[in-house]
Amino acid sequence: MYGPPGTGKTLFAKKLAVHSGMDYAIMTGGDVAPMGRDGVTAMHKVFDWANTSRRGLLLFVDEADAFLRKRATEKISEDLRATLNAFLYRTGEQSNKFMLVLASNQPEQFDWAINDRIDEIVNFALPGLEERERLVRLYFDKYVLEPATGGRQRLKLAQFDYGKKCSEIATRTEGMSGREISKLGVAWQAAAYSSEDGVLTEAMIDARVDDAIKQHHQKMDWLRAEEEAAKSLTPPPAGVGAFGGKMGFTLPLKETPHAQEVIAPIFEINAQPESAEGKPADPVIQDCADAAKAEAKITDKGLTEPESESKPGKQEKTGSSAPKDGTPV
């Protein structure tokens, strides 16, 4: 099962486990990494349980991409890699002893061996207009109407067309998930309880919807910015090439300076023609030469040569010299 967050993947898997009549185990991908070396043993125990169960086992792995990641490209620890290998070993053949259900927001991160073991793929998409209206009415009844009409009636509701308002909210909440719509119901109830007279008005409902829509658009902007940044850092296809550093950007090879371009200015300086007076024609080079000569004069006046160094014009005597007949020493 894959799809955006908040579309009911986990809820569906739990209901499936309850109504299947099978024993079931629910885990998340993040439960495996903290086990360390014990992860392999724990994984074998789960499948041993499945083999000894009379009703079979339904194993639901939520946020499965955190565990079943690509071994070739993703950086995972050796313990996690060993646990993944044990999982692949126990799921390599068809079995009537267990049923595996995976839920993920990023199925493209699955190891290819995991994709090969998947029999059916179910997409949990964002709710459409009809589904959103049903969800809005469901949560309006649960969090507003029921507290206002039953029990102690601590929540009061102003008079307006509830059905029309639910249809209007469903139209405005395009692109929002079921979880986001459920939070609207909680926000309406909290707004009524926090008001002075405990009355939920139509204006208060609209204000909470406006806030939710604004927050949803902000999240979508963050997501788009993240996707664009990921695209800019994606390695280019073969033949294009890019130079990527640790600074968070990618520099195309066509903009990368070649060695010849870096070294050429140096050769040009060294080959600079001299003027008639025997000095380089470039004034910048002339200044550098004058500064070097001035520094050399100061060194000659302020420092004395060590006695151990040989003086110019005299040859040092060595302990041995080559024979005159050319015989090697």
21: left (phi over 0), alpha (psi -120 to 50) or beta: left
Residue, of 280 and 100, whose pLDDT is higher: 100
CATH code of 74's domain = 3.40.50.300
Provide the residue type at 250 as one letter: T
Burial 163-179 (b: 16+ CB within 10 A, else e): eebbbbbbeebeebbbe
pLDDT in the model for residue 249? 33
Question: Residue 83 domain-assigned?
Answer: yes
Give mean pLDDT, residues 13-41: 86
- The top-scoring range by mean pLDDT among 17-21, 149-153, 198-202, 267-271 is 198-202
Amino acid in position 177: S
Check whether residue 204 and residue 149 sit in a common domain: yes
Instruction: Looking at the structure, tell me whether residues 31 and 81 fall in a common domain.
Output: yes
- Spatial separation of the C-alpha atoms in residues 82 and 7, rounded to whole Å: 32
Residue 54 pLDDT: 87
Reply yes or no on whether the pLDDT at 286 is more than 70. no
Which of 43-47, 131-135, 297-301 shows the lowest mean pLDDT across its residues? 297-301
Q: What is the average pLDDT across 296-324?
A: 48
Give this prediction's pTM: 0.62
72-76, 150-154, 285-289: which range is least confident on average?
285-289
CA 216 to chain centroid: 20
Full domain range(s) for residue 138: 129-230
Query: Is 171 a member of any domain?
Result: yes
Main-chain phi, psi angles of 229, to 5 degrees: -65, -40
Q: Has residue 291 been placed in a domain?
A: no
Q: How many domains does the chain have?
A: 2
Query: Quick check: is 258 in a domain?
Result: no
Q: What is the pLDDT of residues 305-315, one digit of tens each?
A: 444 444 444 44
Q: Across the chain, which distance is largest between two alpha carbons, in Å?
A: 124
Judged against a pLDDT cut of 50, whether residue 303 lies above it is answered with no
Both 88 and 135 in one domain: the answer is no
Query: Do the domain assignments include residue 243?
Result: no
Looking at 56, 83, 117, the residue that finishes a domain is: 117
Residues 6+ apart with CB under 8 A from 303: none
Of 117, 148, 169, the one marking the end of a domain is 117
CA distance to 157, 192, 202, per residue, from 207 (Å): 15, 12, 9
Identify whether the C-beta of residue 109 lies closer than 8 Å to the C-beta of residue 69.
yes
The CATH number that applies at residue 180 is 1.10.8.60
